[in-house]
Amino acid sequence: MNRDDFLPFALPSVSEDEIKEVVDTLRSGWWTTGAKTKKFEADFAKFVGASHAIAVNSATAGLHLALEAIGIGPGDKVITTTFTFTATAEVIRYLGADPLFVDIDPQTLNISVDQVEDALKNHPEVKAIMPVHFAGQACEMDELLALAEEYGVRLVEDAAHALPATYKGRRIGTLGDATVYSFYVTKTIATGEGGMVVTDDDAIAERVRVMRLHGISRDVFDRYTSDKPAWYYEVVAPGYKYNMTDIAASLGLHQLKRAEAFRQRRELMALRYDAAFSELPVRLPFVKRPDDIHAWHLYVLRLQTGELMIDRDRFIELMAERGIGTSVHFIPLHRHPYWRDTYQLDAADFPVAEQVFAECVSLPLFPAMSDADQQRVIEAATAILQDACG
């Protein structure tokens, strides 16, 4: 098959507005963190409805900064889900703390509230909970916030999938102590690489701002572009190099303006997939609160392999043979050698994640897809599944 005929799993959507803004930044001579990053931060805080938004160079960096800002350190434990990308857990290790993995809800695939509660009861060294809003659907935040308050722990949300999701009418980003979004190239809005830490806590925001750029007391933009340049600065902590550039922010400014249009397009495609696959041996994505906004970062089918003559891996191969890219979200962390061996994790302790992993496949779902592109996906998946029924 010609490579030009291959439909990838995901592609970013770019308009002339993003291109012009990037060109303007390049011509300005100021490419690093500056006025456009500040504008993106202000626009994002307003969009989410939070007091502070701090732009960083990745969501991984943002999660690291958020945990550092709430005081996570050696000997602490942070509860999180095994059904996530490794970045969610690795940032805990950056700080010398340890992740405490729990299983997921069998319907939403979000973190299991019951298992979070059990972990809190049995591990007094837990200092924080870090839920992941899987595929763009909000976790059970009321229950998680209640547990955080009851046990005196902090709550940092991994919202890499969740822009512009809501929970009971409130935008994700206004609920926990801090929330971190991702602008990786496949996410619901994209800056290539990038992320945003959102919080209503002034102390967290101040700490994140300082630590994202070497622990320096003043942003470089402030020091070099004011009417009276102030060359003097102070290093107040051993910080990191996590700042966002104005080049990336130039993309973010216009991607954010299109976030709702992107979401509507994704939702429409998700509904088309639902209708197309409703009579086939698959489980469709479960939407727990239809009145809330689902970001639809991912559309995850769960193959009913007991009714099929092929497994999930073969389904992916057959889709690729038909020129369609798919993915798997996620290989649970307890299956990866580092996490498994370091913490002596047993797959038997995560039965839901194990079952979902064997069944799940993410189909292409991005706004740049045409209706004809989606129809190709539907026809290919339908043909494969029907043939596999025997």
CB distance 189 to 51 below 8 Å: no
- Among 96, 330, 66, 301, smallest CA distance to 197 is for 66
CA dist 133 and 92 (Å) reads 18
CA dist 105 and 113 (Å) reads 8
CA dist 251 and 384 (Å) reads 38
The DSSP bridge partners found for residue 98 are: 77
Show the DSSP H helices in the chain as ranges: 16-28, 35-48, 59-69, 86-94, 113-122, 141-151, 202-211, 220-225, 246-257, 259-277, 312-321, 337-342, 351-359, 371-388
Structure tokens at 154: 């902090």
Phi-psi group of 215: left, alpha or beta (phi > 0 → left; psi -120 to 50 → alpha; rest → beta): left
Q: 289 CB contacts (<8 Å, ≥6 apart)?
A: 138, 167, 168
Q: Helices 16-28 & 246-257, crossing angle to 10 degrees? A: 150
CA dist 205 and 44 (Å) reads 14
Q: 75 CB contacts (<8 Å, ≥6 apart)?
A: 96, 97, 125
| Paired sense of beta strands 166-167 and 170-171, if any | antiparallel
Query: What sign does the CA torsion over 171, 176, 182, 187 have?
Result: negative
Structure tokens at 223: 């020091």
Catalytic residues: 187
Q: 201 CB contacts (<8 Å, ≥6 apart)?
A: 52, 177, 178
Structure tokens at 219: 């942003």
Reported as half-sphere exposure (CB side, CA atoms, 13 A), residue 267 has a value of 17
